[in-house]
Structure 1
Amino acid sequence: MSCTNQICTLSSSNADSFLSASKNYEEAFARIRSNDIPKSAIERSQLRALVEATRNDLGICNADDISRGYLAKTLECYESLLAPIRTLPSEIMISIFKLVVWDDDFVEIATGPFRCSGPIFPLTWVNYRWREIIISQPSFWSSLDLFLRVYGREADFQLMADVVGECLLRSGTIAPLHLKILVRGWDARASSGQLHVLNMLNEHAYRWKEIVFECLLPEPHLAHMLNQICSQNTSLPALEVVNLSTTNKEKPFLLGFFGPTFIHLPRLHTLFISLLRSTDLVLIDLQQLTTFRINHYIGCSFAALLENCPLLEHLEISEITSSDAGVSSTIPFVHHTHLTSLHLNNLQWFPIGLWQSVHLPNLTHLEVNGYMGRGSFLNTFEEVKTMLVQSKCVLQHIHFHWHKNGLNDSEYAHSCFLQGILISPTSTIDYKYHDKRGSLPPQCFGNCGIYYCYTDTPNTLPTVTSSGAVYHHRRYMTLSLLPPEIGP
């Protein structure tokens, strides 16, 4: 029933009461939207009197009185105007908003027509003060999470450009930009709309602090962005984090794809890249890099890679293709003192000779994943072990994740798998393997502090080692303490 029809069914006195309650609510609601809080002690006293009067009216109002709903909402508005949060300084409000917003200021919905969402937008709808604070704070508009996909309407591309343009405008000219771009599709008809948005982002490349670019193919989107940066001689002085990923292994980054785009990155400390050639090392400024994750590395030695990353602390590599193209015939000896964490995936496909001339004396964390019994796993692992022994590093945490229990082979079943490697007395070993043929004998691990073992085998009875320590082998996790001795 509409408000007009409701009034028509009421008596004159009830209608007046209803209209008065409705008007009071509209005025109170307008006050909270504009954050019209009491400024003086007298105004606060007057507002408290209104709260008491409204609460009394609500208390004597019949349950079926049509004015009751408006009275309840009016009381909420009055009480809201007295809430302490409305008097907090803008600086504190900004800190509170950041806890809500995190870094997803603008997120495009991945399906249907173009829409944008994110926690920042509802906050601007609460009241005038919140909106003013948020709009005036560039950091709330400097993180963009963008899906580039093919739309059926030209209007969707224009709307995307309008929203991105407004966010960039509100982010100012100084605030660092965090960009995440996921390309979900492309065809010739969509190229102009998609590339126009990328051009808008490129105009602010000097402010990029973090860029994540994930696509099926590097052409044309990523190539377009890099070419634009190079052609305009745009510097990237603020760039700290780069993630460039393609999901199509058949068409990766071509030789020389990056050009001189990243040749000067004075602040770059984290780099994730799906494919890197050893010839690319001179095209990317890696001097300040501390974290490096490479899905596919094409080269013949890690010495050349580490030589170009003097401050590197964490290295993860998932696939290697041996190639000596563009590499000096003389492999440099690298005594790398900063690397503390090494993560090697698919070790069975790593070529031999990668670790020659490499010492990592301060390595403490080692993670190795692979398929035992396939490829050159055992030879490659022996090479890694040799490098570790020669480096004289003391490992604190070791993680093995193997598919198939290669240690059941007669050659390795009863040998000390970590023999010769220095292990801290407080070390932790995470061991996970997928094979239902049986468990490992505890002597394969040598002396260390704690074992966390994950396996597909059923639970078995505890095993007592020669040192008297108890090694529990279970389906999910085991924990066992061994003597605090360093070394084999």
Structure 2
Amino acid sequence: MDSIESFSELAQRIISGVEALAQKIVVYDDGPILERLQQGDFAETPALPTEVDPFIQVAISAEYDRHIALLEEAFRKLKSAKDDFKRSVDLRLSLLAPIRHLPEDILVEIFSHFIQDGGTRQGSEERTYSLTLSKKHRIFSPSFTLSCVCSFWRRVVFSRPIFWSSFSLDLGGLRAFEGESKMTAILSQCLSRSANAPLSLHLKLDSADHALDSGNLLSLFIGQAARWEWLDLPDYRSISRFISQLQSGGQPPIFSSLRHLNLGEGRRSEMTLSLLPIVLSASHLETLSTGRCGFTWSDFCQCDFSSLKKLKASTLSNGTVGQFLSRLPSLEVCILTSTSGFTTDSKPSSASYSSNLRCLSIRLEDSLVGAWQSLRTPHLLRLFLEARDGTEESHIESVSSMLVRSKSVLQELTLFNIYAHEALNFINAHPSVTDIILSGSYESVDDNRYPGDLFSRLSFPKEENTVVLAPNLRSLTIQIQGSITDSDGSSTLDSHIFLAQNIVKMVKSRTDEESLPPDATVLQKFTLRLMSRHEEVFGHIRRSLAHLVASGLQLELDQYLVTYSALQDL
């Protein structure tokens, strides 16, 4: 045989040999015997005994099986050799891959995107955490995946503290694991790789007694409290245990690097907790969401919130709004989910408190009218105002009057669950507004509710010397909750068309440049949202405003409603 015979030539020789072997296996032609049996004749006895001797046939079959098994083993070795060849090629291609020639800093940038996309998103801010401890995934991290590729990548990943600085930990799930000490050891090693990098933590604790074994793991992270930059405690029930853990040691931890603190809302029936153990030493906070944890005015005065830019709070008490915000010189966004704890100014003529607020969101309850007396917001641009059931008109007027005294130049205004005439009065007091979102319940019997005379009042009047509401309006969104009915409570085509006609008239009056009042702005966008689909309303509006849409008007007609919390993000 030629010593330089190629693989394909040798393979062809083997194939030919296998075909020759197949020809050596004689297959009996049993057709004639089957045909005679079908005709009722008995088959003749073969002339040669070997043709029917079962012992001889079994021996021949066994001989075939033995040699075929040897061939199969030979082919298995051949396939194994081929697999080894492929692995060696893949390894060589990997070693010679262009990515290995990338500078390490570029590789780190690529890894950062991979970890960001593959991490766990948690919390109200939808932050990405690179390492997760959960009941479902146990311990998971995209960094683990990267470190398994090769020693070079492992060295890069292990040497970058930023890849090991964000943890989402469900410590209540430790009871589902076998060997809490092993989990603690793994997380301790991961935490050590973060070196001195700022830490981001999303913690869920179990307040039950059977979860006390997670204390060692929690203590591990509390020991690094000085490096915490972001802390998210979404489960209100676990906050009390967390605070107890903070106070269990001799020296309370100092959160010198904490910039962002977000706490869960919980239920109103649950006890209000004090935040002092956490925030007393956190003098660089930039965002704070208190959840159901409370702040009295006396506690608030003990804290340094000079760097706070965003506050979401529900239980501020024993002080006026102006007093609280006066201690927040850097505050730009304030979300008050409850106003029931505020008090009125003891001296109506007391000095005012100016704030740098740009965005203010208020959920009005049974607060005192005088709580807003001393606040001044000259830089306010966005206001979100929701009236809870039972909110009196004087409460809404007190907020509007505060803005007038502040000489605020509002640009965006959202009024939620407010009667139509109250909304119109608010809009009239602030002519600078350019974007308005109004949401209320439809009630044709009571003009105080939506839509009332909302659309006719928002239409530009043709008569001179008539008050023009919202002369700078560019975008208007109307949400109508409930069914569109007549005064007798029935839902008819007439009631639907009447609503559509009023909307069309209002939009046309604000988009006709030739008939606009002096210095008035053309409406650029109109959005209507209804609780259920009303094709009569939508169809009439589309047909009537088609020429304006062709000229550039943005028209959106939707059948879903947006919640107040979602409106804050619009």
Match of 2:231 among 206, 211, 224: 211
More strand by share: 1
- Residue by residue over 1:435-461, the C-alpha shift from the partner in whole angstroms, topping out at 9 and shown as x without a partner, is 364533252553222212233456713
Match of 1:280 in 2: 299
Structure showing greater Rg: 2
Matched, 1:235 2:235: no
Aligned residue in 2 for 1:62: none
- Aligned positions of 1:23-102 closer than 5 A: 23-26=84-87, 28=88, 74=89, 76-102=90-116
Q: Select 1:263's aligned residue among 263, 274, 280.
A: 280
Q: Choose which of 120, 133, 141 in structure 2 pairs with 1:118.
A: 141
What does residue 432 of structure 1 align with?
439
CA offsets per residue over residues 268-298 of structure 1, 9 Å max, x none?
Answer: 1111111332232123321111110113332
SS in 1 for 2:372: coil
Taking a change above 3 Å as real, the CA distance of residues 303 and 16 of structure 1, as seen in their structure-2 partners, is: closer
Cα offset, 1:164, TM superposition: 2.1
Partner Cα separation in structure 2 for residue 433 and residue 363 of structure 1: 24
Alpha-carbon distance in 1 for matches of 2:426, 2:345: 35
User: Which whole-Å CA distance do the structure 2 matches of 1:306 and 1:276 have between them?
Assistant: 15
Determine if the alignment matches structure 1 residue 375 to structure 2 residue 399: no
1:105 to 2:114 alignment? no
In the aligned structure 2, how far is the partner of 1:260 from the partner of 1:152? 28
The answer (yes or no) to whether the contact 2:360–2:384 under 8 Å persists in 1 is yes
* Structure showing greater relative contact order (alpha-carbon pairs closer than 8 Å, 6 or more residues apart): 1
What SS does structure 1 have at the residue aligned with 2:385?
strand
Change (3 A) 1:119 1:19: closer
Equivalent residue, structure 1, for 2:50:
none
The structural deviation recorded for 1:343 is 0.6
Which residue is equivalent to 1:333?
351
Residue pair 2:135, 2:173 contacting (<8 A) in 1 also: no
Structure 2: which amino acid aligns with 1:312? L
Alpha-carbon distance in 1 for matches of 2:100, 2:85? 21
Question: 2:107 and 2:456 mapped to 1: Cα distance?
Answer: 57
Unaligned runs of 5+ in 1: 29-73, 482-488
User: Tell me, what secondary structure is at the counterpart of 2:410?
Assistant: strand
| Residue number in structure 1 paired with 2:210 | 189
Rounded to whole Å, the distance in 2 between the matches of 1:124 and 1:397 is: 49
State yes or no: 1:292 paired with 2:353: no
**Deviation of 1:330 (Å):** 5.4
1:147 aligns with 2:147: no
Whichever structure has more helix as a proportion of its residues is 2
CA RMSD in angstroms, aligned pairs only: 3.3
Match of 2:52 in 1: none
Instruction: From the superposition, tell whether residues 307 and 228 of structure 1 become closer, same or farther in structure 2 (CA, over 3 Å).
Output: farther
Write the distance in 2 (CA, Å) between the matches of 1:359 and 1:237. Answer: 31
Aligned partners of 1:105 and 1:140 also within 8 Å: yes
Residue equivalent to 1:393: 408
Q: Which residue of 1 aligns with 2:83?
A: 22
Residues 476, 527 of structure 2: 8 Å contact kept: no
Partner of 2:377: 360
TM superposition shift of 1:87: 1.5
Equivalent residue number for residue 198 of structure 1 = 218
CA contact (8 A) 1:217 1:248 kept: no
Instruction: Kindly provide the amino acid, as one letter, of the partner of residue 148 in structure 1.
Output: L
| CA shift in 2, pair 1:298/1:169, >3 Å | same
* Partner residue of 1:446 out of 467, 470, 473: 470
Q: Deviations over 1:363-389 (max 9, x none)?
A: 000011234xx3234221100010011
Q: Figure out how many residues of one structure are paired with residues of the other and give that number.
A: 408
Match of 2:23 in 1: none
Shift of 1:416: 4.2
* Structure 1 counterpart SS, 2:427: coil
Q: Distance in 2 between matches of 1:313 and 1:387?
A: 17
- How far does residue 319 in structure 1 lie from its aligned partner after superposition? 1.0
Q: CA 1:156/1:279 → structure 2, altered by over 3 Å: closer, same or farther? A: farther
Distance 1:395 1:7, change over 3 A: farther
Of 102-111 and 135-144, the range deviating more from structure 2: 102-111
Runs of 4+ more than 6 Å apart: 477-481
Structure 1 residues 92 and 453, CA, compared in 2 at 3 Å: closer, same or farther? same
1:300–1:15 Cα change, 3 Å: closer
Give the Cα–Cα distance (whole angstroms) in 2 for the partners of residues 140 and 249 of structure 1: 38
Higher mean C-alpha displacement, 212-221 vs 97-106:
212-221
Which residue matches 1:406?
Answer: 419
**3-state SS of paired residue (1:108):** strand
The yes-or-no answer on 1:9 pairing with 2:71 is yes
Is the Cα contact below 8 Å between 2:332 and 2:357 reproduced in 1? yes
Secondary structure of the residue aligned to 1:353 is helix
Do the aligned partners of residues 11 and 164 (structure 1) sit closer, same or farther apart at CA in structure 2, a change above 3 Å counting? closer
CA offsets per residue over residues 122-173 of structure 1, 9 Å max, x none?
Answer: 222222222221111111111000112155467353343223212211111x
CA 117–251 in structure 1, closer or farther in 2 if over 3 Å, else same? same
1:104 Cα deviation after fit: 1.6
The 10-residue stretch of structure 1 (231-240 or 214-223) with the greater mean CA deviation from structure 2: 214-223
Of the candidates 169, 177, 180, which is equivalent to residue 199 of structure 2?
Answer: 177
> Residues 330-358 of structure 1: CA distance to partner in whole angstroms, max 9, x if unpaired?
5863442411100112x243332220111
For residue 233 of structure 1, report the CA deviation from its aligned partner: 4.6
Q: Distance in 2 between the 1:6 and 1:392 partners?
A: 96
Question: Which residue is 2:43 aligned to?
Answer: none
Q: Does 1:468 align with 2:522?
A: no
Of residues 216, 229, 244, the one that matches 1:224 is: 244
- Whole-Å separation in 2 of the counterparts to 1:190 and 1:6: 62
The residue aligned with 2:428 is: 419
Q: Which moved more, 1:330-339 or 1:291-300?
A: 330-339
Cα pair 2:431 2:470 within 8 Å, conserved: no
TM-score by length of 2: 0.64
- CA-CA distance at 1:220 after TM superposition: 4.4
Question: Alpha carbons of 1:209 and 1:417: their partners in 2 closer, same or farther (altered >3 Å)?
Answer: closer
What's the secondary structure of 2:204's corresponding residue? Answer: strand
Q: What are the superposed Cα offsets for residues 236-267 of structure 1, whole Å, 9 maximum, x if unpaired?
A: 2211111122513323334xx34454234342
Which ranges of structure 2 fall in alignment gaps of 5 or more residues? 1-66, 117-127, 445-449, 459-468, 485-495, 512-522, 531-537, 542-548, 555-570
Give 1:80 deviation, angstroms: 3.4
